[in-house]
Chains A and B, each alone.
Chain A
Amino acid sequence: MLKTLRQIGRIGIVTEPPPAPDESLRQLAAMAAEVRRILGRALCIRAVDAGSCNGCELEMHALNNAIYNLEGLGIRFVASPRHADMLLVTGPVARHMQLALRRTWEATPDPKWVVAIGECACTGGIFGESYASCGRVANLIPVDVAVPGCPPSPTQILSGILTAISG
C-alpha cells in the first residue's frame, strides 16, 4: 500500500490541457446552444466499433489515460447507448454490424451526436464498399462530426468530441 501511495505521489498530475475545437471537422449544423450547454458539461459517450481494424480503439483508450484525462473534462465512456449523449463510431460499417449499429443509434436518446472516428468511418478507407462493407458511417446514420486519420491521435479525437459540443 505504501509503495502504491508513494508511486502516486511521485508521479503527481500529468494531465495536459485539452485541444481547441476544430470547425473543419463539423459535418452537420451545431445543436442548439441550450443543449450544448447542458450536455457539454457532463457528456456520456458510447463507443461503437462497426468494423474497424482496432487501431482507432487503441487511441480511444488513450483518451482515458491520465495525460488526456477525458473524465477530468466531464466526459466519460458509458456501458449502454441508453446512457449516452454521443456515439463514437469507428470502422467502415461491416454489413454484419449494420443492424447492431442502427439499433445502438436508435437506443441512444435524443438529442444525440454521432462522431465518426478515423479514415474508414469518414470515407470507408482502404476497405471501401463491398459485399461485406457498407463503407462510411454516414451511409447509415447521420454524422455530426468526422475525424479523419489512421488512426487519429487522441488529441484529434478529443478535438472532434469538443467540436460537437461547442460552437
Chain B
Amino acid sequence: MMSFTRRYCESNPLAGAPGARAQTVAIEHWGSVLAEVAAGGGRLFALWAQTPPLSGALLHAAVIGDPGILLLSATLAEGVNRFPSAAEVFPAALRMERAIFDLHGLRSTVWDTRPWLRHTAWPEGYPLRDAQMPDAPTEPIADAYPFVAVDGDGVHEIAVGPVHAGIIEPGHFRFSVVGEKVLRLEEHLGYVHKGIERRFQELPALAGHRLAARVSGDSAVAYSWAYCQALEGCAGLTLPPRAAWLRALALELERIANHLGDLGALGNDAGFAFALSQFGRLKEGLLRRTAAALGQRYLLDFVVPGGTALDVTTNTLSTLAAAMPPLINEVQRLHDILEEHAGVRDRFNATGIVTPALALQLGLTGLAGRASAQAFDLRCDFPCVPYEQLQPEKMLQQGGDVAARVAVRFAELLESCQLVIAIATQLPAGAHRVEVSTPPPGSIGLGCIEGWRGPVLVALCIGADGQIARCHPHDPSWHNWPVLEHAVIGNIVADFPLINKSFNLSYSGHDL
C-alpha cells in the first residue's frame, strides 16, 4: 500500500492554495485511499460531488496532512449512483454524504440514509444534478424528521428551534434528558439552505466572490479570499504583494471582531453581563475603525478578484495601527477580570469537554480544535503571502472545555492585534488590484484560508464562457457540529447555550 506522503508527492500540482495538489483515483479504490490517508495522519478537509449534465458524476475529497492538501477525485461510471462511504474512516463525512444525496442523488453506502439538507422544500429533483427543478409546493409542508429516540426511565425530550430565543441563526436541537442532565443531543440543520451552490452555477466566475462572501457573513473575508485564491489560481495570476497583505489585514480584523463579540457573549452566557457590555464597546470601536480604514464595518465587499476593492491611505492605516495597543491593554484588563471572577470560572471550567483524543477521532477543526490540542492552522501549516513572513503562532490548549475555547480566543485576539500592527508597518507599496482574465474552461482551483472559526475551503471549477461550472464552499462547521453533540453529553441543559456559544458554529455556512 502506498503512503499518504508518497501519494501526495506523486500527485499533480493544483491551482490556488499553497500546498494544494490533485490526484484522480479509481472509484473502487476510494475507500482504501481514504483509509491510507487517515493512516498517514491525514484529515478530511471537505467532501463533495459534481454532476456535470453531460458526463458521469465526480466525487471529490480534499484531505489535508503534514505533506499538504490533496484533492482526490473519482469518476462514477455512467448510470452508477452509489459510492463507497468514507464515514467509517472520517466520521465527519457522514453528513456530507447525506448532503451529496440530497443535492446530487448519489447515495453513499453509509447506514444513515435520512435526508440532511433536504427537508420538504423540494420533494422531487436534485438541485445540483437537474437542469430544471420542479416548482416548490405552494403550501409549505411540515417536516417530520426521524430523530433517534432515547428510551429509559424518566427520559424526556426537549425540542428547541428552528426559531431560537436569541438573535441567532435557525436550527433544531433535540435534547434527550433525565432531569437536567443531557443524555443525548441530536441536531437537525438545513433550515437556512437557500441554494447557494446552484446559485454559483448561474454566475460568471469573475462575479462569484460576492456570493462567496455571503456564504457565512461572519467569515466574509475568509470566504471571499478563498474564492479569489481559487479563481486567481485558475487564471494563472500572481497577486500583487500589497493586495495579499491588505487581504490579511482584513482577515485579522475579521478575526478580532468575531473574537471580541464571542468573548462578550460567553461572559454574558455565564451570567456576567459586564463582559457583554465591555467587549461590545470594544467591538463597536473596532468596527468603526475598520469602516474608516477599509470602507465597511463588516468586510463583505473588500476582497475582489485581483486584489481588494479599496486601497488604504497611510493616514487611515496608521490610525488603525495606533488603535491596537490601547485595544490590547483593554482586552488584557478584561481578561484579568474574567480570570479572577469565581462565578465565571466555575461556569467555564470543565464545561463541554472535548478531550484531545475525541477531537482527533472526530476531526474537530479550527479554533475549537486548537482548544483540544489539535495543532492545525493554515496560516502556519501552508501559509500564503503574507503569512510565511508574519509567522503567526498556533494558539493551543489541552483542556477542550469552554475555558480552553475562551483562552484560545484571547490568545488569538491579542496576536491578531499584533499582526495588524505588523501589517501596517510592513505593507508593501504597489498596486492593490490588477485585472484578472477569465480562466480557461475546465480549469480547477482550490482556495484555503484560515478564517476565525477555522479552515475555509472553496473548490472552483470553471465552465464554458467563463461561467462557474461548480463551486463548493466548505465551512469548518461541517466538522464541528457533530462534535458539539458529544461535547454536551453529561452536561446540564442550562449549560448548552454556553457550550454552543463557545463553538459558535455557522448555520448558513453549513446549510448553504
Interface residues of A (CB under 8 A from B): 3-4, 7-8, 11, 14, 47-62, 64-67, 77, 79-81, 91-92, 94-100, 102, 104, 125-128, 130-134, 150-151, 153
| Known pairs A92-B194, A132-B193, A132-B195; A65 contacts B119 (CB<8 A) | no
CB distance from B329 to the nearest CB of A (A): 12
A22 to B146, CA, bound (A): 47
A–B Cβ pairs within 8 angstroms, 6 of them: A79-B166, A97-B170, A97-B192, A125-B214, A130-B133, A132-B195
Q: Does B196 count as interface, using CB distance less than 8 angstroms?
A: yes
A62 to B507, CA, bound (A): 20
A95 to B120, CA, bound (A): 8
Chain B neighbourhood of A132, CB < 8 A = 121-122, 127, 193-195, 198
Q: Does B199 count as interface, using CB distance less than 8 angstroms?
A: yes
Chain A neighbourhood of B141, CB < 8 A = 99
Chain B neighbourhood of A7, CB < 8 A = 274, 278, 333-334, 337
List the 5 shortest-distance A-B pairs measured between CB atoms, nearest first.
Answer: A55-B217, A95-B121, A65-B280, A132-B195, A79-B165
Chain A neighbourhood of B133, CB < 8 A = 130-131
Asked if B192 and A52 sit within 8 Å, CB to CB, the answer is: yes
Asked if A58 and B261 sit within 8 Å, CB to CB, the answer is: yes
Asked if A153 and B169 sit within 8 Å, CB to CB, the answer is: no
A66 to B191, CA, bound (A): 32
| Known pairs A54-B506, A54-B508, A55-B220; A49 contacts B281 (CB<8 A) | no
CB distance from B266 to the nearest CB of A (A): 13
A138 to B335, CA, bound (A): 45
Known contacts A47-B166, A47-B167, A55-B220, then 14 further A-B pairs from the complex at CB < 8 Å, ordered by chain A residue: A7-B337, A49-B167, A51-B192, A51-B194, A54-B506, A54-B507, A64-B276, A91-B194, A96-B121, A96-B190, A126-B214, A127-B199, A132-B127, A132-B194
Residue from A4, A53, A97 with most neighbouring chain B CB atoms (10 Å): A53
A49 to B192, CA, bound (A): 9
| Known pairs A61-B167, A100-B170; A55 contacts B192 (CB<8 A) | no
| Known pairs A49-B169, A57-B167, A102-B140; A11 contacts B281 (CB<8 A) | yes
Asked if A54 and B169 sit within 8 Å, CB to CB, the answer is: yes
Asked if B198 and A131 sit within 8 Å, CB to CB, the answer is: yes
Asked if B192 and A91 sit within 8 Å, CB to CB, the answer is: yes
Q: Does B290 count as interface, using CB distance less than 8 angstroms?
A: no
Out of A56, A81, A96, which one reaches B192, CB within 8 Å?
A96
- Which residues of B196-239 have CB atoms within 8 Å of chain A's CB atoms? 196, 198-199, 210-211, 214-218, 220
A57 to B217, CA, bound (A): 9
Interface residues of B (CB under 8 A from A): 119-122, 125, 127, 133, 136, 140-143, 162-163, 165-170, 190-196, 198-199, 210-211, 214-218, 220, 261, 274, 276-278, 280-281, 283-284, 287, 297-298, 300-301, 333-334, 336-337, 340-341, 506-508, 511
Chain B neighbourhood of A134, CB < 8 A = 136
Out of B167, B195, B283, B301, which one reaches A130, CB within 8 Å?
B195
Chain A neighbourhood of B341, CB < 8 A = 4
Out of B122, B143, B218, which one reaches A58, CB within 8 Å?
B218
Asked if B274 and A4 sit within 8 Å, CB to CB, the answer is: yes
Asked if B140 and A95 sit within 8 Å, CB to CB, the answer is: yes
CB distance from B161 to the nearest CB of A (A): 8
Asked if A67 and B190 sit within 8 Å, CB to CB, the answer is: no
Chain B neighbourhood of A97, CB < 8 A = 162, 170, 191-192
What residue of chain A has the Cβ atom nearest to residue B287's Cβ?
A62
Asked if A151 and B298 sit within 8 Å, CB to CB, the answer is: yes
Chain B neighbourhood of A80, CB < 8 A = 165
What residue of chain A has the Cβ atom nearest to residue B161's Cβ?
A100
Asked if A133 and B194 sit within 8 Å, CB to CB, the answer is: yes
A49 to B508, CA, bound (A): 10
Asked if A104 and B163 sit within 8 Å, CB to CB, the answer is: yes
Asked if A61 and B199 sit within 8 Å, CB to CB, the answer is: no
Chain A neighbourhood of B301, CB < 8 A = 150
Out of A11, A67, A91, A102, which one reaches B284, CB within 8 Å?
A67
Asked if A153 and B297 sit within 8 Å, CB to CB, the answer is: yes
Asked if B165 and A133 sit within 8 Å, CB to CB, the answer is: no
A94 to B274, CA, bound (A): 36
A7 to B190, CA, bound (A): 42
CB distance from A37 to the nearest CB of B (A): 27
Chain A neighbourhood of B276, CB < 8 A = 64
Asked if A62 and B199 sit within 8 Å, CB to CB, the answer is: no
Asked if B125 and A131 sit within 8 Å, CB to CB, the answer is: yes
CB distance from A66 to the nearest CB of B (A): 5
What residue of chain A has the Cβ atom nearest to residue B136's Cβ?
A95
Asked if A53 and B217 sit within 8 Å, CB to CB, the answer is: yes
Chain B neighbourhood of A153, CB < 8 A = 297
A142 to B507, CA, bound (A): 26
Asked if A66 and B140 sit within 8 Å, CB to CB, the answer is: no
What residue of chain A has the Cβ atom nearest to residue B264's Cβ?
A65
| Known pairs A127-B194, A131-B198; A65 contacts B166 (CB<8 A) | no
| Known pairs A102-B140, A130-B194, A131-B198; A14 contacts B162 (CB<8 A) | no
CB distance from B370 to the nearest CB of A (A): 22
CB distance from B323 to the nearest CB of A (A): 16
Chain A neighbourhood of B165, CB < 8 A = 79-80
CB distance from B203 to the nearest CB of A (A): 9
What residue of chain A has the Cβ atom nearest to residue B274's Cβ?
A4
| Known pairs A53-B217, A65-B283; A8 contacts B162 (CB<8 A) | no
